[in-house]
Structure formats: C-alpha cells, structure tokens
Structure 1
C-alpha cells in the first residue's frame, strides 16, 4: 500500500522581505488537512518506466527547489496562494514491475483525487500518468490533454513504460484524448493511426507557433464531450535547447509558449488534475529545464487562480 512521505518545509530564498516567493506561501499538509487549500502538490520520484535515459526520479525535489525561489506575482492576476505540499508518494521497491508500481500508487492518487483541492503531480516519469488519471475514470467521463512531443500510445507488449500511458488509459475507459505540441518525425504512422481511429486529436508544434490560442482551442474542442479534464505536461514538449529529459529533440515549444498554453488550459472549469513529468535534473544543463518546469507550474496556477 502506497502512502505519502512527510512533506518538506518550504522557504523563500530572497533577502528582500518584499519578495514574496512560492517558498514563503506553500504550506505543508496531509490528507486530513488538505481540503483547506485550493491546490495540493504531490511528488512522484519514480523513473522505472523510462524507455531511454533515466533521471526523472530526481524531478520532484528539484522542481520544488526551483519553484520555492519563484515570486508569486503574476501581472494579470496578482499573487498566487492557497497551495499545500502533501509530500511524495512512497514508491515501491525497484524490483517491482511498472504495472505493479502503477497499481500500488493508484491507492494514494485515489485518496488525493477525493480531496476538494486540485492535485498537481510533480514527476517522475510518464508511466505514472496512468495512476494519476485512473481514479477519475470512476467519477464520470474523462479527457486528457497531453502536452507532449510524443503521443505515448505504444502497446504495452512487455509491460508498461513511459511510452504506453494513453493506450493503457484508453483501454481502461478514457473517453477522449488530445495531444498538443506533437512534433513531426517523432512518432510512427501506426501510433498516429491509433489516435485517429479512436477519435483523438493531434495538434502540432507548428500549429502552436502559428496561432497558439487557436491551437489550444482546437485541442480542447476534441475534449468537449467530457465532464473531467486532466492536463499532463511532458517537459520534452520544449525545444531541446531548454530540455533536460530522456528524449530531447529540436523543433519544440519555447518556454513562453508553454507558459501561455497552460494558463489558457487552467481556465477550463472541468480541470481535475495537472502534472509535469519527465524533468530529469541529471540530464539538465544549468538548471534550465527545472526552472522551466517550475515556472510552467507557476503559470498554470496563475491561470487556475484567475
């Protein structure tokens, strides 16, 4: 049975007392006290499902450190607040298969989704999108917006991986799927056909760059029919210049495009969860990816607060 570790104490890093940072306003909480907050952060330090280069298990800690130093003020909405940290999900032993890890962690994410607060999961690899979304499937129709360079609908032939979550979720009853930020030459025709045959929507990086608002609208229009919306950001959606992860490639989004994108998505009233996955600090250059991941969360929270 998976549980949550003791949350870390957050602390701002600025010497100026007027510089309110996330480190100053994020409070520690547990499942019993979490309903007093608007948003709860949950770390998932696991990368056993990564297909190629590992390192995402160090993501939650690094993202927290980076976010603690980010100021809380957004020019359009003012300061962000009402956030608690529940700590990390306790990860089963490395010897356990990914499918078993997914099932064990689902016990904790089910409790997190039962809260009134919106869960924001700090990954960790993309394989844990399955237990992060699965509890919602019992609460009504669900759609996932996958902000990602890849479709991640591989068949789980030898067990689940970070490339299989959306096929797994579709087979478990996911009602709708859209990928925004997909890159040409980063997926096979077979997997694109799978998404198309199952009514999914694919919006490319080029479309985002041409007209970001229209691209987000098109992605969300493919999810119009669902009651609950979950948004997953795989940090490899960013261009390789900014991307320390298992599979960085050129031609991705700029950070400011990602920031605006998540702010727009956060305004959707059906939103039931958010995650940032595949941030791998050991593969990062000068902390650029970790900083981008932390600010992606900050911009999402600003959109949610608006």
Structure 2
C-alpha cells in the first residue's frame, strides 16, 4: 500500500535569535498525530503526467527549502502557527491512473484528519486525487489559480491537463478559474466549462481589485459545503515564475496572487490547498520556488494563524 515517507526535521537558516522562520515552527508528524495541528504539509514528487516540460517532481523539496527560510510573521495577521509536515507520498511505478489511485488512497486518509492539508506538488494531474476524496462526503467547489482551464478530455491516460474534467465527472459541483490567459486554452474547453456552469476570471479582471476578484470566484461556487484551492504557479507572469512547465506572459503579479490567497483562505469552508507545477530544474535564481513558498505562507496566514 502506498504510504508517506518519514519527514525530515525543519530548521530555520537565520542565526538571529529574534527571527522566527517556518523552519523553526514546522514540526514533523504522522497521520496518527496530524489532528494535533491545524495544517499539515504533504509532498508529491511526481511529474509523470505533465503535458509540457517535466521537472515538478523536484518541487516539494524546493518549496520546503524556501518556506523553511521564510519568516512566519504577516504584518496584518501576525505569525503563522500549528503547522506539521507529514512527508512525501511514495509514488509507485506505473501509469498515470495507477499513480492517481495510489495518491488518492493516501490523500483520503489525510483529509480524514481534522487538519487542513497543503499538498506540495508535483504536476497538475495530482489535483484529481488531492481533491477527489472530498467528493464522497460533501458538495465541493474549487478555486483554481491557473493560466489554463485543465479540463481536457481523458484519452489514453489522464494528464496534467485533465484534472478538472475528471473532477467534474466524479461530482465536482462548481469551478472558478482565476488568472486564465487569453489564447492559452482552446474554445472547446471554454465551452465545456461554460456548460458545467464554471466561471473564468482572466488577469485583467484581477488587476483592478484582487480581493473583489476572489470574492467573485467564491460567490460563483454558490453554497457548496467545502472549497478546495489549487495554485498552478504558471498563473504568475513568466518573469515571476519561469520554473514551470508552461510559462507564459501576461499573468498575475506575485502581489496580486498573495493578496488573493490570503483572502480566499479566510473562507471557513476551505478543505485543502495545493501548489503544483513548481519545476526547479527549469527555474532561474529560485524565483519560482520562492514565489511558491511565499504563496503557501500567505495562504496559511489567511487561515487565521493557521486556523
């Protein structure tokens, strides 16, 4: 049975005794002790389903490294607390469907704890097993920060472009995509999402007021019981996040993204969060991993000091 690797201890690199970094406060835990924390981190080192350039299997290690050196204090919300690391999901050999089944067997157990899971990817194909366990119990909506809609039809096997088609087929009730680019997703997939009642907010609709854009995305989900939030780092402009499978110009700024993540996390229906498509071999100066780690920090701060 697929399981979790033992997490490594976290340390903060600063030698200033007044500095508190995530490396100082993130503890190691197991599924048996996860309920003692508000948030648990889970790594997913996999990029076997990526449509574009591989490299995201190295994402969890890079995100942890950058988060470890990030200070815990948000100026308006105070310090983040009560975070643990459960380690990485052991990814089996085999096809994408086999990997998704194995990952889902672990994420179901993570969701069964009282902690909010934060999945560190990995490619976007794992959005399906990360969110799917929620569908068995509640009405679920997803907010996807992504340059693409990722609702392609599954043909031979799932890919990083199919997770929301899979989730809709499994019972996802609502989807709002924030930051989707013009000229990046074909008409057929926009039509598909429209048929599902989905909402698309392109970057221009975010620029005026990111907080309002998030409120619009959440309102588009209606009265679902649970909200799952996905961040594909390619939603950022290519200059801010070159280390992704498919970097493109015209994306969100890090400032816009961070503000939106802190706000969306304040919704009391949040049932999980993920950061996907961080590909360190494709990065420049660790910019993408650093942006991804800050994104996690802003999301956690929005949970109210990690709830």
**TM-score bin, normalised by smaller chain:** over 0.9
Cα distance in 1 for partners of 2:181, 2:169 equals 25
Identify the residue that residue 185 of structure 2 maps to in structure 1.
187
Structure 1 residue ranges, 4+ long, deviating more than 2 angstroms after superposition = none
1:77-121 CA-to-partner distances (Å, cap 9, x unmatched) read: 11111000000000001xx11011101111100000000010000
Cα distance in 1 for partners of 2:116, 2:164 equals 21
1:183-220 CA-to-partner distances (Å, cap 9, x unmatched) read: 11111111000000111111111100122122111111
Cα distance in 2 for partners of 1:32, 1:100 equals 26
- Structure 1 residue 2: deviation in Å? 1.1
Cα distance in 1 for partners of 2:185, 2:24 equals 42
Aligned ranges 1:64-103 → 2 under 5 Å: 64-93=64-93, 96-103=94-101
> Pairwise CA RMSD of aligned residues?
0.7
Identify the residue that residue 293 of structure 1 maps to in structure 2.
292
Identify the residue that residue 160 of structure 2 maps to in structure 1.
162
1:243-278 CA-to-partner distances (Å, cap 9, x unmatched) read: 110100000011111100100100000000000000
Identify the residue that residue 109 of structure 2 maps to in structure 1.
111
- Is the partner of 1:231 in helix, strand or coil? strand
Cα distance in 2 for partners of 1:278, 1:141 equals 27
| Count of matched residue pairs | 304
Structure 2, gaps ≥5 residues long: none
Cα distance in 1 for partners of 2:199, 2:46 equals 29
Structure 1, gaps ≥5 residues long: none
- Structure 1 residue 4: deviation in Å? 0.3
2:294 maps to 1:272: no
- Is the partner of 1:242 in helix, strand or coil? coil
Cα distance in 1 for partners of 2:215, 2:298 equals 18
Aligned ranges 1:1-306 → 2 under 5 Å: 1-93=1-93, 96-243=94-241, 244-305=243-304
TM-score, normalised to structure 1's length? 0.98
Cα distance in 2 for partners of 1:158, 1:250 equals 31
Cα distance in 1 for partners of 2:11, 2:209 equals 38
Cα distance in 1 for partners of 2:52, 2:268 equals 36
- Is the partner of 1:249 in helix, strand or coil? coil
- Structure 1 residue 281: deviation in Å? 0.3
